[in-house]
Amino acid sequence: MATDTMLKFVGREQAYPAKRDAADRADDFREIADRYAPPAAEDQAGRCSQCGVPYCSVHCPLHNHIPDWLRLTAEGRLREAYELSNATSTMPEICGRICPQDRLCEGNCVIEFTGHGAVTIGSVEKFITDTAWEEGWVEPLVPGPARGQSVGVIGAGPAGLTAAEYLRANGYEVHVYDRHDRAGGLLTYGIPGFKLEKPVVTRRVDRLVAGGIVFHQGFEVGRDASLDELRSRHDALLIATGVYRARQVEVPGHDLPGVVESLDYLTASNRKGFGDNVPEFDTGALDAAGRHVVVIGGGDTAMDCVRTAVRQGAASVKCLYRRDRANMPGSRREVQNAEEEGVEFVWLAAPQAFEGEGRVERVRVRGMRLGAADAGGRRAPEHDPAGDRDMPADLVVKALGFDAEELPRLWGAADLGVTRWGTVLVDGRTLMTSLDGVFAAGDIVRGASLVVWAIRDGRDAASAMHKWLKAEARSRKVAA
Ligand SMILES: Cc1cc2nc3c(=O)[nH]c(=O)nc-3n(C[C@H](O)[C@H](O)[C@H](O)COP(=O)(O)OP(=O)(O)OC[C@H]3O[C@@H](n4cnc5c(N)ncnc54)[C@H](O)[C@@H]3O)c2cc1C
Ligand code: SF4
């Protein structure tokens, strides 16, 4: 029975531990580091064959020097391994935890190709930098000599934080604006704490604050300032606002009480994990405890929702996806994790309506089958009446992915060029938008993507902005 399996593996206290003080947090970090005890990391690192064709590095968006830091780890030279790993990434311990390694570095490990299982690159990366924090090897952010120029970064997610760090190190005054009360973007309020412990994100942000980056939390561009106002405050701007317009399920009953958005659900859970007062959670509106939960969608956000519901103590958790397992967009590893925790996957099923008296009580399910392939070669789902049925549900979470918000309209910036999907257009070489001195990076440029790509984009944007700002400073000097 699914519920028994769930309870065996996970518990509510794991999702919402009691609020921790500074001494507790130090213990937390020690415990996090202990979980990846040195012999395991060194043994794993020693499995790297130093194959000379580092497909792992090629397929890592940051082109991390993986074989080199694996060799240093295997030799016990952890500090050097950390320094090398840190040279290409602003958040190695975060990527080590949440990159879909099976699709990136580990999926392209030569040892994996020989059928012996990839070196667990992500967990070694995590271990190296957790150890560096523990040992005090992580250096403070030291600003470069002041240049007298200032940069505004809109969005404190991984793209914005990465760019802010590199720009500050280059001597710019850096201000980060974010509409949330905490920095981190989806690292803080999207990705659940059981995948990415929040103190790990907080210590990164604290380091940036100590390095003189000024954070303006609770500051929403479009409400608290227009884009033009921010442009007049800074010499250059970076837009790194991510994508937040939830795709809708346009079926009857989609707005019934008990039918909720994935990000509202995950944010409430993450806030609870921080020890915040979260009335929507406490009233039960966004708490799955004791509920029959149905999550709609087949991507990684849906996986985070089902696994959160299990930890909240749901009575049952089902995931409805209109294609089959082989055509699911979510990571295979995540599906397997969810199944092991007791989640039931209902393949070839889509919602037809959400029904109930005053709040959702059931999902009318439309059976699907895979029809002819579309232009992209993907078989399109079509209705299969044999699969129609009702499914009891008292909490439905819609997790169909996200598109870009309409920034030109919301920000009163009609000249900001966007694609037909609403993502911000940048020049591929300069990374500048259609507005002079305004750059963009991360999901708002690529569409919903990955943390490691946001870091890469933040790194590239910082380098392009630095180049542009230096040229601006030179031309001002000439004009004077
Ligand atoms: C539920 C979920 C789970 C995920 N899990 C993973 C995972 O396991 N691994 C992985 O690699 N990727 C994962 N991703 C994707 C990953 O989180 C994103 O690709 C990444 O965070 C994008 O970074 P970003 O900096 O571009 O944007 P974000 O992280 O979205 O940050 C953007 C920031 O901009 C702020 N902002 C937006 N508009 C404004 C405004 N008008 N004014 C001021 N501030 C504003 C937001 O508050 C936010 O803090 C997940 C995504 C979701 C939704
Ligand atoms: S950043 Fe991600 S892809 Fe690159 S080595 Fe680390 S875990 Fe692998």
Q: What is the mean pLDDT of the chain?
A: 92
The overall pTM is greater than 0.85:
yes
Residue nearest to atom 8 of ligand 2 (CA): 105
Per-residue pLDDT at 314 exceeds 60: yes
99-140 tens-digit pLDDT:
999 889 998 888 887 777 888 999 999 999 999 999 999 999
238-258 tens-digit pLDDT:
999 999 999 999 999 999 999
In angstroms, the first-to-last Cα distance of the chain is 77
At residue 160, the pLDDT reads 98
CA pair distance 153, 178, nearest whole angstrom = 9
* CA-based R_g, the chain, Å: 23
Nearest CA to 332 out of 26, 102, 57 is that of 102
Q: Please give the number of the atom of ligand 2 that sits closest to the Cα of 96.
A: 7
Element (H, E) at 297: none
Query: How many angstroms does the Cα of residue 121 sit away from the middle of ligand 2?
Result: 7
Q: What secondary structure letter does DSSP report for 108?
A: G
Q: Half-sphere exposure of 437 toward its Cβ, with a 13 Å CA cutoff?
A: 19
Beta bridge partners of 243: none
The residues, any chain, with a CB within 8 Å of residue 467's CB and separated by 6 or more, are none
Sign of the four-CA dihedral 343, 344, 345, 349: negative
Residue nearest to atom 3 of ligand 2 (CA): 60
Closest ligand to the CA of 177: 1
- Cα 355 off chain centre by: 32
Closest ligand to the CA of 66: 2
Task: Say if residues 149 and 133 touch (Cβ distance below 8 Å).
Answer: no
Q: Is 442 in the pocket of ligand 1 (CB under 6 A)?
A: yes
Of 68, 101, 187, 456, the residue with max ligand 2 atoms within 8 A of its CB, to mutate for a pocket test, comes to 101
At 397, give phi and psi (nearest 5°).
Answer: -115, 120
At residue 13, the pLDDT reads 58
Per-residue pLDDT at 326 exceeds 70: yes
255-298 tens-digit pLDDT:
999 999 999 999 999 999 999 999 999 999 999 999 999 999 99
Q: Please give the number of the atom of ligand 1 that sits closest to the Cα of 160.
A: 25
Q: Where are the alpha helices (DSSP H) in 257-349?
A: 262-274, 279-282, 300-311, 332-340
Per-residue pLDDT at 162 exceeds 50: yes
Residue 20 confidence class, pLDDT cut points 50, 70, 90 = low
DSSP string computed for 307-326: HHHHHTT-SEEEEE-SS-GG
Query: How many angstroms does the Cα of residue 126 sit away from the middle of ligand 2?
Result: 10
